[in-house]
Amino acid sequence: MQPACSAALLAAFLVVLACSAVSCRGQLADNFYAGKCGNFSVEAIIHDAVKARLAWDKRMVAGLLHLQFHDCFVACGGPSYQVQLGRRDGMVSQASMASILPGPSVDIPTAINLFARKGLNSFEMVSLMGAHTVGVTHCSVIHDRLFNFNGTGLPDPAMDPVYVWILSTFACPKGQAFDNIVYLDDPSSILLVDKSYYSQIMKRHGVLSVDQALGDHSATAWMVRFLATTDFFPSMFSYALNKLAALDVLTGTAGEIRSNCRRTN
């Protein structure tokens, strides 16, 4: 393959995994790279590469979905849909931007407000939280929920006591040497993008405070029930992800396509 074509493939991979500032949704397209690398299908090459890596290590799905939350998206074992292409990389990277992301203990009104600022309604927010179906956290993040909620010396009463016992005994025992990983969904479903996450919340098995709060707050509880008891999650999740992916992107001549994703050209 010619160097120019190889560079185009690398650039395509970086662009598929990039979203930055300035909304230009109308310039994105499902077939943006069609015919731009001779007879090679950029999308097919990327798809096959990611699929091969997923077959080797499905844990990377959580990381990719985390990137999508503030940068990009790749789908896994659940809803499938056309991804709008044509994003370019930003010229500036600011660590301070990470501070605007909602944390694991954010309250629901604050979370709704943060998403609303980006043009996403509360139902879209709850649908996007479904990405936790393949998510993980660490014991250090939920330690207080298990052992000292709000300084009481007791577990968080919002969590099912039996589930507290399971997590505090097997996953996150006191005095453990390592900061173990904890799945945000039922371990039997952790490699599938499905509605199980919402069913777990209804059982009071929400691992993060924000997870359980979705099922307890009056503004979002009915949405959790709806997504847990119907088959609308795949379509709602795909729709919300596509909308998220089209927010604040650089297209056309704005930004650049980086030759090294770790730094600007």
| Residues making up the binding site for substrate | 102
Which segments are annotated as binding site for Ca(2+)?
A: 133, 186, 194
Binding site members: 102, 132-133, 186, 194
Cα separation, 84 vs 121, whole angstroms: 21
Of 11, 91, 24, 98, nearest to 250 by C-alpha is 24
Q: Which pair of tokens denotes residue 35?
A: 């015919």
Q: Which residues make up each annotated binding site for heme b?
A: 132
Is the distance from CB of 224 to CB of 199 less than 8 angstroms?
no
Phi-psi region of 38 (alpha: psi -120 to 50; beta: other; left: phi over 0): left
Do 194 and 132 form a contact (C-beta atoms < 8 A)? no
